Structure formats: structure tokens, C-alpha cells
A and B are shown apart, each in its own frame.
Chain A
Amino acid sequence: MSPFFTLLARDIKLAARSGGSAFLALSFFALVATLVPLGVGADLRLLARVGGGVLWVGAVLAALLSLDRLFQGDFEDGSLDLISLSPLPMELTALAKMLAHWLSTGAALTLLSPLLALLFNLPPAATLTLFLSLLLGTPAVSAVGAIGASLTLSLKRGGLILPLIILPLLSPAVIFGAGAVSLTLDRLASGGALGLLAAFSAGAVLLSPFAAAASVRLNLGG
């Protein structure tokens, strides 16, 4: 298991640096939360209605920002070749990278979300639901994102195509996540929505290491 944790630690360290993805994701998330009210007006009731959806979309986009570098950096300097030769199976490599990505983006965004929920005048119950939904749903973003990243790792400007490929695939997460917040706002039970979201994430996290590994191999093998 040691190579797994070594890779995990190393990727997290890279992401947490000052120019790294964690900072970028958090800043972008905060900026979206600032720009949308500027765009739609400061009607607090309106903002409370749309806050769940806006923050969910903002979180997904923020997590997306650093995805294109997930495999690309190592691919470009040859490290990915070396990693593929190590005893660690490529599936676990992909899983380690996904986990590192989630810890440095999704998890961080989840922790920031209650603060940003304030900007949208979300009541406490909805804020809690938002927090839970992001906690449950952002792993799916990292997982599905890893598939997209592995497919585009050989592209110089793959970052442009990555959102195009994976955002449609992530629509269930946005639907269930923001839907849960919506239900809470209507004083309805959100457990079902959160459950569906959890199932989606679980499925994504379980299956995408295999898809991502296959894509990496195909890019390495040429």
C-alpha cells in the first residue's frame, strides 16, 4: 500500500502549493458566488432560491479547473511512464490521483460552502444540506473528471475540451445535489436526493479507476 500513499501525498503536496489547484479552486468558487448576485441582483429571496444550484455549478466548475493537469504533468515529464512500470496497478494510481484531487478541491470547496451560503441567504437547514450534498457529490466530480483527464492527457490544450466532455456526464450530480437543497428549502425531506447522489458518487468512484486506467494505458502505449 505504500506506493499508493506516497503517490497520494505527493499529489496533494503539489496541489496545495501556492500556485496549485486548491487555491485556484477555492478562489474561483468564491468569485462565482460573488459574480452571480452581481449578475442577478441582490433580492435575497431570489438568491436563496437559486443559491443551491449556483453554488453547486460553481463547485463543479471550480473542481474542473485543475483536472486537465491530473495526468498531463506526469505524462509530459515522463513520470507517468515510470509510475506505470511500478508494482502499483494503474487502477490504484488513478484512484490515488482522484483522491488527491478530491482532497485538494472537492473537500476544500465543501468546507468553504457554508460561508458562501451566507452570501446567498440560505437558511441553516439548506446550508447543511448543501454541505452534505457537496461532500457526497464532489467525489463524483473528481472521479468522472479523472476519466476525462486521462482521455485528454496527451493534448496540449486539452483543458478546453475537458469540460465539454465531462459536464454532461456530471449532470446527475448537479441535479441531485442542487435538488436536495431545493427540497430542504421547501421543507421537504432531502434524504432521497442525497441517497441518489451518494449512489451516483459511489458508482463513479468504483468504476472510473478502471476507465481512467484503460485510457492512460492507451495513451502511453500509443
Chain B
Amino acid sequence: MNFDLGPYGMYIWPSYAISAAGLIGITLWTVIGWYKAKAALAKLEQK
């Protein structure tokens, strides 16, 4: 795999980094939200 990105590497890496951060971030937000809701509901159903 060729990782020499040439003169424009300084645009390519940030693009990928920001995209990864954004997508991972929103995935985490979604997944954590799901587990929180599940936990809250389980607690209520136990009562």
C-alpha cells in the first residue's frame, strides 16, 4: 500500500482524520445513547 501522498498529503491526512473523528464520534454518541436508554428502561422495569 502506497502511503506516499505527495505534496498534498497535508490536505489528505486532515481530511481523513476529521472524517474519522466525526464518524466515530457520531457512532459513539449513538451507541452510548442506546445503552443509556436500555439501562434506564431496565432499571424502571425492575421496580
Do A's and B's CB atoms come within 8 Å in the complex? no
Interface residues of A, Cβ cutoff 8 Å to B: none
